[in-house]
Structure 1
């Protein structure tokens, strides 16, 4: 609080000047406190690395959605996200999430039982031969196309993440995904390490079943999906992603131009 200066007449000009300077200083300090103090809205504060919380309802989470079997009543079992493409109809997920293409639907921005951007039926699948032939964990990245809804493509509504390969081993990754028992997406960010030359590792709690296929974002670009080694991991505290390499980029290009 700014203290009010005494209104008592002051016959000393220097004292009045000092009073005016003190008033300006107090005002400046008050403004700085308001700008830099700890009472910022919680939504503006980033959580510490390695802490999982409910994802903010923002443009990023709108591009991430749950995969459903047959519709909202079928329950969600994996996560996917919209990526940029020529035809604006491509999503990315884990290859092990896409066994039943004909009955799988994508609900971007799904939250609390509602699909605010609609349900999008999967129409095409782009998976590496290494996965279809032997479920190679290094090939557990896939892309799919979705049918338009009311004449619009999914990217027209929510936008899409660019795809970026060649990230450093210690990149800071943000993960957004839907545990199968949760009705809102979770968010966690942490610095990653290379588990192997082809698998990336992150420590984030509570990323349990259903988060497979979740986008791994580096500076807003897709650098992987939750999956790979042991289907993404055997415990919810540690997750994995196959490294986004040339093969995954080729799948992405095929989906982007052929879809």
Structure 2
């Protein structure tokens, strides 16, 4: 979420920047997108060959070099989504221990708890360029689901390749391994028109060393149609100044509702590019590092510094999650 740009508009922290690292030749043979017969989500499947290539592609050096590209939209291009936001459903989880501070406009997470292992950096190749975002492991039927931003799986009509999730990323180290996506998904609204209200993505990651993701790193609960104006915590791995992508950063405070364009959640936060896709939690417990995920880092306004926005997890996000967890 880089804040210092001249054009007034919406800033997407996609977490992708030119680094000179091109895809290897085999990437041209990536599996094609699935047909969009199911309106609950648009999806892309990666072959086992591509999954293996992604894990080996992301060396410590390449991960350190993957930095964000800021992408802009004008306010006029932002889309309003008029959907009912009622009802609800949530899932819960278990965890460990931590301390920090509330509110917090942006700083390293100094506590412990489950968030240290469920959150991580997302790495991918976007149009031949190395790139990064953030993501989070959630409770799911397949024990393999990661939630991120829509633009962290697909942007401008192109699905990202070489997609991996690195939980507990630490300056080039992958203490829990690199989990390659078997499938990436996004909402039909993001797929069709990059609707900011539905900038939500998911990945179903392949087993690693015979184990499934959440059996190794744990999982956070997830909630839909949970309402607005609540105490929230946001996490991510911002990689644009003043941050460098090496640490888990968090913001916390009382959330608001974006009254300008999107009606999404807002939170005082100075996270920058690369934090996109990182989780927002309600009911977050600092001692255990757990909560219910209700949004992801998505965008900021250039004319409104130190404010982060994330999509409301309503029925559309729930359909995406259900599609992913049942894959």
TM-score normalised by the chain length of structure 2: 0.60
Which of 181, 199, 209 is the matching residue for 1:140? 199
Inter-CA distance 232–155: structure 2 relative to 1 (3 Å threshold):
farther
* Aligned residue runs from structure 1 range 67-86, under 5 A: 67-69=122-124, 77-86=132-141
Inter-CA distance 116–75: structure 2 relative to 1 (3 Å threshold):
farther
Which of 162, 171, 176 is the matching residue for 2:235? 176
Q: CA deviation at 1:232?
A: 4.3
Larger proportion of helix: 1
The answer to whether the aligner puts 1:199 opposite 2:264 as a matched pair is yes
Query: What do the CA deviations read for 1:130-165 (whole angstroms, capped 9, x no partner)?
Result: 111110001101111111100101101111111102
Q: Which residue of 2 aligns with 1:188?
A: 251
User: How large is the Cα RMSD of the aligned pairs?
Assistant: 2.0
TM-score normalised by the chain length of structure 1: 0.75
The answer to whether the aligner puts 1:217 opposite 2:281 as a matched pair is yes
Partners in 1 of 2:248 and 2:177 — Cα distance?
Answer: 16
Task: Kindly report structure 1 stretches of 4+ aligned residues shifted beyond 4 Å.
Answer: none
Partners in 2 of 1:114 and 1:233 — Cα distance?
Answer: 33
Inter-CA distance 136–51: structure 2 relative to 1 (3 Å threshold):
closer
Indicate if the aligned counterparts of 1:102 and 1:122 stay in contact, CA closer than 8 A.
no
Q: CA deviation at 1:233?
A: 4.2
Partners in 1 of 2:277 and 2:237 — Cα distance?
Answer: 9
SS of the residue 1:121 aligns to: strand
Query: What do the CA deviations read for 1:195-254 (whole angstroms, capped 9, x no partner)?
Result: 14741110022x000000010011201101111xxx344466110011111010011011
Alignment gaps of 5+ in structure 2: 1-96, 284-290
* Aligned residue runs from structure 1 range 99-248, under 5 A: 99=154, 100-180=159-239, 181-196=244-259, 198-205=263-270, 207-219=271-283, 220-227=291-298, 231-234=299-302, 237-248=306-317
Q: Which residue of 2 aligns with 1:253?
A: 322
Partners in 1 of 2:203 and 2:305 — Cα distance?
Answer: 26
Q: CA deviation at 1:68?
A: 1.4
Query: What do the CA deviations read for 1:38-89 (whole angstroms, capped 9, x no partner)?
Result: xxxxx9653230332211343212100001136xxx9652000001111100
Indicate if the aligned counterparts of 1:102 and 1:123 stay in contact, CA closer than 8 A.
no
Partners in 2 of 1:114 and 1:76 — Cα distance?
Answer: 17
Alignment gaps of 5+ in structure 1: 1-42
Larger proportion of strand: 2
SS of the residue 2:143 aligns to: coil
Query: Looking at both structures, which has the greater relative contact order when contacts are Cα pairs under 8 Å and sequence separation is at least 6?
Result: 2
Q: CA deviation at 1:113?
A: 2.2
User: Greater shift after overlay, 123-132 or 53-62?
Assistant: 53-62
